[in-house]
Structure 1
Amino acid sequence: MSNIHPFPVWQRVGQVGFDRPELTRILDLYGRMVAAGMWRDYAIDLGRDAAIFSAFRRTAERPEFRIEKRPALRGRQGQWALIGESGAVLKRGHELGPVLAPVERRLLKLVEE
């Protein structure tokens, strides 16, 4: 009756994820693109090598943009990458802000029209 058993902790060892400020920045951009009518859905994939945020124009299509965080590339090209629909790397860097700049510029063009 008085035996206390600890609750098992299930953690995925070595899983890459987004920090709160990173995810806030990404979801803020996503919300503005939804308000502009460009994006309608998103997906988040958290794996051992990378954390990927994919933004879709429509649910059944390929993602229009993927924002990838790969900590293994932190010392080389930068851990952040913006990948287009065709799979080409559009921007790579060490910080999230400059990597998101091409999408934010596109949003500014949509608002001006």
Structure 2
Amino acid sequence: MREIEDASASLESATEEVTAKNRLVTATVDATGRLTELKFHTDGYRGMAPAELGATLVEVIDRAQRKMSDRVAEAYDAFAPEGVDTAAVMRGEVDVEQTLRSMGVSLDDFR
């Protein structure tokens, strides 16, 4: 349990920053994947078409969120049951109910 608490504590104040390929903006997310900051490095966004600016923002935020998701999955990977892909869990690609059933557990056991 102590190791799980340590992993959680290490992520409590963790952030990930990703800078756009064009160096225009940096997105920062916290351990939950919540956007906490957008930092514009130049005023180049003023001359961008709205669709281009929007695409740049979506791309940089998405990369920051994926980077944090991978970091969280890695922190908890050692504690996951055998056969459970923590990265897939973090991406929402795992049917939790089905995974529990395959381990002989039912959601009803938690109610």
TM-score range, shorter-chain basis? under 0.3
Larger Rg: 2
* Structure (1/2) with the larger strand percentage: 1
Scaled by the length of structure 2, what TM-score is found? 0.27
* Structure (1/2) with the larger helix percentage: 2
Scaled by the length of structure 1, what TM-score is found? 0.26
Higher relative contact order (CA 8 A, sep 6+): 2
